[in-house]
Structure 1
């Protein structure tokens, strides 16, 4: 669902489990949120942006791919 996030994780050679751990949530929660089953909270979105060390805005990070 969040293609830009998937691409950034891949480009940074990170594992989703690693991202989830650094965010402080379980791998299962992270995957469910990435599938759109549950929304990311603002706090989680900010932590994800920090973990991915991206300059993209929250809007661009979570926006649909062009």
Structure 2
């Protein structure tokens, strides 16, 4: 659902499970939010951006195709 986020995860060599661990949330929660089952909040998006240590703007990181 978020191709730029998936690309950033791949560049880091991270899985979505690793992202969930870095954020301190359940893996199922990350999957639900990244697959569009539940919305992401702005604070969650910022947390993901910080965890990835990327300079990519949030609107670009969470661009949907």
Provide the TM-score with structure 2 as the length reference: 0.89
Q: Show structure 1 runs of 5+ residues with no match.
A: none
Report how far residue 28 of structure 1 moved. 0.3
> After TM superposition, where is structure 1 displaced by more than 2 Å over at least 4 residues in a row?
none
Q: TM-score, normalised by structure 1?
A: 0.88
What is the CA RMSD across the aligned residues, in angstroms? 1.1
Distance across 2 between alignment mates of 1:60 and 1:44 = 15
1:4 CA drift (Å): 0.7
Correspondence list, 1:21-60, <5 A: 21-60=21-60
* Residues in 2 aligned to 1:36 and 1:24: alpha-carbon distance in whole angstroms: 20
* Alignment gaps of 5+ in structure 2: none
Distance 2:43 2:24 in 1: 11
| Number of equivalenced pairs | 65
